[in-house]
Amino acid sequence: MATQLSVRLPDELGRRLQAASRRMQRKSSEIVRLALLEFLGPGNRDRTRPADRVRSLIGSLNSGIPDLASRHRTYLLKSLRRGR
């Protein structure tokens, strides 16, 4: 490892980290590294908005309802009345 970091955690966060460490059977430092990779990872570097993460999925599904975008409220209320 090239860089060493010391961090002070609030008591509650420290307890949660220890619980995760026991549950996952991993060292606390490994869990912190995984969390940092997830937060700072290469996929998140250039993408600052949540929509950017799913941009490739937008418009990729076909509901079969041609006017869903313009009448979404009608379809939503209809679905709620049916209990779905």
Q: Evaluate whether residue 3 is within a structural domain.
A: no
Q: Evaluate whether residue 53 is within a structural domain.
A: no
Domain range enclosing 22 = 9-47
End-to-end C-alpha distance for the chain, whole angstroms = 52
pTM above 0.75, yes or no: no
What is the rounded average pLDDT of the residues 60-73? 88
Could you report the per-residue pLDDT of 23-41, keeping only the tens digit for each?
999 999 999 999 998 888 7
Q: Evaluate whether residue 28 is within a structural domain.
A: yes
Q: Evaluate whether residue 1 is within a structural domain.
A: no
Higher pLDDT, 42 or 50: 50
What is the rounded average pLDDT of the residues 49-76? 86
Q: Evaluate whether residue 80 is within a structural domain.
A: no
> Among 9, 2, 1, 48, which residue's Cα sits nearest to residue 28?
9
What is the tally of structural domains in the chain?
1
Q: Evaluate whether residue 65 is within a structural domain.
A: no
Q: Evaluate whether residue 36 is within a structural domain.
A: yes
